[in-house]
Amino acid sequence: MWPTWISPFTWWQGIIFAAVPPAVVIALYFLKLRRHPLEVPSTYLWHRAIEDLHVNSLWQRLRQSLLLFLQLLILLLVILALFRPGWRGTELLGDRFIFLIDTSASMNATDVEPTRLEFAKKRVDELIASMKSGDVAMVVSFSDEPHVEQAFTDNRRQLRKKVAAIRPTNRRSDLTKSLPIVAGLANPGRSSTTGTDDIQVATAQPANLYIFSDGRFDSVPEFDMGNLDPTYVPIGEGQSNNLAITAFNVQRNQETLDQLQAFASIENFGDEPVTVTASLYLDDDSADSAVIRDAAEVTVEPGKEKGVQFDLTGELEEGILRLELDETDHLQLDNRAYAVINPPREVNILLVTSGGGSLEQVLSTGGIADMAQVSIMAPSQLSQQQHLESAAAGAYDLIIYDACAPAVMPRCNTLFIGTVPPAPKVVGTEATEEEPSPAEEAEPAAVEDGADSPIHWVASEVTIEPIIVDVAQTHPLMQYIELSDVLILEATPLLVPPGGTTLIDSDAGTLLGIAPRDSFEDVVLGFELVSGEGDPNTNWPIRRSFAIFALNIVHYLGGATIELETATIRPGDTMTIRTEGPVPSIRITDPDNQTTILKQENADTFLYNETEQFGAYAVRQDDKDEITQRFSVNLFDTNESNIRPIEKLKIGAEKITGERVWQPLRREAWKYLLLLVLCVLLFEWYIYNRRVYL
């Protein structure tokens, strides 16, 4: 293979440039004082000695000029090195390699034969084959989770076996978790603490990192590659076309609740406008084959998104809707989407109020009544054993405490109005007999914990007429809520516990906050709707935003949203399944009809994470055959559906330009030339000092 050169000269300029220094050296050689005169007794013997050597005098001259030749050789090598010769080859440089292989959904694309992942595996296989003896390598596959397929080893057979065993996933790609794993092996940072001394135990292990991916993931802004020498190998064609369903869900028609509407969003990631037929199927468990319910022809402009709406008439209590595009593009995974229709389930809401408030009115509106069943209870009944049991068992989805508070927090989401949740009990969860008043509950907490960093909710001193300055409208609870016309007489601004979020901020402090508690969330309103004397404390209940707030509360805290609309997750995500009331176990059947049994761990909540496959999953309770609910797994990720590979990765401050491996690596030769120069220089020095000709 011929070397290539990196030189600012054309070939003839290069020749001229390269000819000058040797000419100078030769001139200097001839100009130099050739020989030191030395007086000897007689040249008689010397003449006789060199007589024989004169026979082959040309060779003698050459031998005598060995130093000159060595100098010329050195010069030649230096000039050669300056022209930076290099070879193109796929040989690996370095001795420690980390192969990071993207296995996300987009790697299933078929724009390179046979698929992107297979192509990447082939490239890795070739690189492993070109590893030198003693080189070690590690194979890590990643989607949204990294997976170390093979730790550092020099066993090439093992490496290739592990690479061959890598399977594609349907997940998204995310480099943020993978990089620390590979970086941890290359960068020191771990330390061992023995006694009081902190000792670094890991030594730096520089490694070459090869990232085989299409680069469709979020850039990793805060990461230092350290000793890692990254090489990004983009996989995939730049002209890849893909049409994807990026959203698909089913909602009940707001006007006629027995009607369903399916909404889909189709996005075109190609260069050409595409006209496609979207077919909507209804998969019925009872029927053997799916029934086509509707179809629509959609034309999507390149780079644009288009919505499709299907109206589903007739009584549809439950089932699986499947939307399919008849387009044959490079990524088939996202041409199909699933939406499940769950039987309507009422949200169980308990309102604890002394009565007569606007809350009861709001919760009895038609919209909410359709979704939720609202029970009302007086604060005095809070300590009743029956209530305590059902609260502890998680019988309710949401409990609203209007100007009162329980002794023990129930196992469900809560909304506190004008009070704060009680401080967590340190020992025991038994309900106490005493019935704490809101004031009594708030005071000790404030005294105990101080004001700066409460570990639980704390209400501050009463503030008169706080002015609302900010509403966190991005939060689902505060959507569509406008509070500029709301007046408040008295409020007790809140200190939100760690992990919480301020939803309504005033000049005096937080008026509405939300904070997690175990697997639940508590929302606390820092002012009462009606003062203790029965006079209105605020005009919010008579504003429209209050009704919307109530609806949001039912949707969000009551879990109604999940039930109706968003029973879809992405592959690999954890599905939180709630049952109506406590059940000992549930069975989940995945699209391949494999059944998983989950035992009860946490009241009515089950966590299911074997959500690798696209499609609809069915949930059954205990041993019953009846499907109680369904959920679907869809890709719905524009990053994955946009399969055009990114040419430049940004990791930390480093920008890594993609090097397609089939544009072979350049192997620089100048270092070796300079090494050779050093050797020749040493040899010349030896010759000069020893006068030895070999």
Partner 1 sequence: MATTTPEPLLSPEMLAQLERLELVSRKIFRGRMKGERRSRRKGQSVEFADFRPYVQGDDLRFIDWNLYARLDRLFLKLFLEEEDLHFFSLIDASASMDFGEPSKFLYAKRLAAALGFIGLCRADRVKIETLGQAVANPGPTLRGRRSLWRMQEYLEGVQADQNVSLLDGVKNFCIRNHGKGILVLITDLMDKQGYEKAFKYLMAQQMDVYIIHLLSPEELEPDVSGDLRLVDCEDADVAEITVSRPLMQRYRQTLNAFVDGARQYCSRRGMTYMLASTETPVDQLVSNYLRQRGLVR
Angle (nearest 5°) at CA 324 between 320 and 330: 135
**Site stretch for partner 1 (CB under 8 A), options 50-58, 440-448, 550-558, 630-638:** 50-58
Among 8, 30, 52, 451, binds partner 1 (CB under 8 A): 52
d(CA 401, CA 354) in angstroms, rounded, equals 10
Identify each DSSP E strand in 418-569 by its residue range: 458-459, 463-464, 468-471, 490-491, 494-495, 501-506, 510-517, 520-525, 568-569
Site string for partner 1, 60-89 (x = CB under 8 A): ---xx-------------------------
For the CB of residue 5, give the shortest distance to partner 1 in the complex, in Å: 38
Structure tokens at 642: 């946009």
Among 16, 49, 378, 653, binds partner 1 (CB under 8 A): 49
For the CB of residue 53, give the shortest distance to partner 1 in the complex, in Å: 6
For the CB of residue 72, give the shortest distance to partner 1 in the complex, in Å: 17
Instruction: Pick left, alpha or beta for residue 116 (phi over 0 → left; psi -120 to 50 → alpha; otherwise beta).
Output: alpha
174-177, long-range: CB < 8 A, 24+ apart = 174/142, 174/143, 174/144, 174/145, 174/217, 174/218, 175/142, 175/211, 175/213, 175/217, 175/218, 175/220, 175/651, 176/218, 176/220, 176/223, 177/142, 177/144, 177/145, 177/146
**Site stretch for partner 1 (CB under 8 A), options 38-46, 106-114, 158-166, 445-453:** 38-46
**Site stretch for partner 1 (CB under 8 A), options 42-50, 163-171, 222-230, 668-676:** 42-50
Q: Name residue, tokens 């990232």.
A: 211
For the CB of residue 79, give the shortest distance to partner 1 in the complex, in Å: 27
Q: Which is nearest to 513 in space by CA: 450, 445, 460? A: 460
For the CB of residue 21, give the shortest distance to partner 1 in the complex, in Å: 23
Binding residues for partner 1 restricted to 675-694, rule: CB under 8 A:
691-693
d(CA 208, CA 224) in angstroms, rounded, equals 14
In terms of CB distance, is 9 or 686 closer to partner 1? 686
Site string for partner 1, 8-37 (x = CB under 8 A): --------------------------xxxx
Q: Which residues have CB under 8 Å from 24's CB, separation 6+?
A: none
Does 42 engage in binding with partner 1 (CB under 8 A)? yes
In terms of CB distance, is 19 or 62 closer to partner 1? 62
In terms of CB distance, is 64 or 657 closer to partner 1? 64
Does 54 engage in binding with partner 1 (CB under 8 A)? no
Among 10, 23, 41, 272, binds partner 1 (CB under 8 A): 41
Binding residues for partner 1 restricted to 109-138, rule: CB under 8 A:
none
Whether 284 contacts 238, CB under 8 Å: no
In terms of CB distance, is 662 or 693 closer to partner 1? 693
For the CB of residue 63, give the shortest distance to partner 1 in the complex, in Å: 7
In terms of CB distance, is 67 or 455 closer to partner 1? 67
Identify each DSSP E strand in 343-487 by its residue range: 347-352, 372-377, 398-402, 413-417, 458-459, 463-464, 468-471
Structure tokens at 599: 């035992």
Among 44, 198, 452, 626, binds partner 1 (CB under 8 A): 44
For the chain, the first-to-last Cα distance in angstroms comes to 32
Binding residues for partner 1 restricted to 158-197, rule: CB under 8 A:
none
Distances (CA, A) of 509 to 40, 316, 486, 504: 108, 48, 16, 9
Does 40 engage in binding with partner 1 (CB under 8 A)? yes
Among 15, 19, 24, 45, binds partner 1 (CB under 8 A): 45
For the CB of residue 681, give the shortest distance to partner 1 in the complex, in Å: 19
In terms of CB distance, is 34 or 671 closer to partner 1? 34
Distances (CA, A) of 239 to 42, 120, 270, 276: 88, 18, 8, 19
d(CA 353, CA 402) in angstroms, rounded, equals 5
Q: In angstroms, what is the C-alpha Rg of the chain?
A: 38
Among 1, 38, 58, 199, binds partner 1 (CB under 8 A): 38
Number of residues that bind partner 1 (CB under 8 A): 24
| H or E stretch at 682 | helix 670-690
For the CB of residue 19, give the shortest distance to partner 1 in the complex, in Å: 27
For the CB of residue 693, give the shortest distance to partner 1 in the complex, in Å: 5
In terms of CB distance, is 49 or 129 closer to partner 1? 49
In terms of CB distance, is 64 or 609 closer to partner 1? 64
Does 2 engage in binding with partner 1 (CB under 8 A)? no
Among 16, 27, 28, 46, binds partner 1 (CB under 8 A): 46
For the CB of residue 40, give the shortest distance to partner 1 in the complex, in Å: 5
Distances (CA, A) of 642 to 115, 271, 676: 16, 12, 50
For the CB of residue 68, give the shortest distance to partner 1 in the complex, in Å: 11
In terms of CB distance, is 28 or 49 closer to partner 1? 49
In terms of CB distance, is 66 or 665 closer to partner 1? 66
Structure tokens at 338: 């699933």
Whether 357 contacts 530, CB under 8 Å: yes
Structure tokens at 653: 């401050």
For the CB of residue 26, give the shortest distance to partner 1 in the complex, in Å: 16
For the CB of residue 69, give the shortest distance to partner 1 in the complex, in Å: 13
Residue 418 β-bridge partners: none
In terms of CB distance, is 62 or 257 closer to partner 1? 62
d(CA 439, CA 446) in angstroms, rounded, equals 11
d(CA 338, CA 632) in angstroms, rounded, equals 6
Whether 546 contacts 358, CB under 8 Å: yes
In terms of CB distance, is 670 or 683 closer to partner 1? 683
The site for partner 1 (CB under 8 A) is made up of 34-50, 52-53, 63-64, 691-693
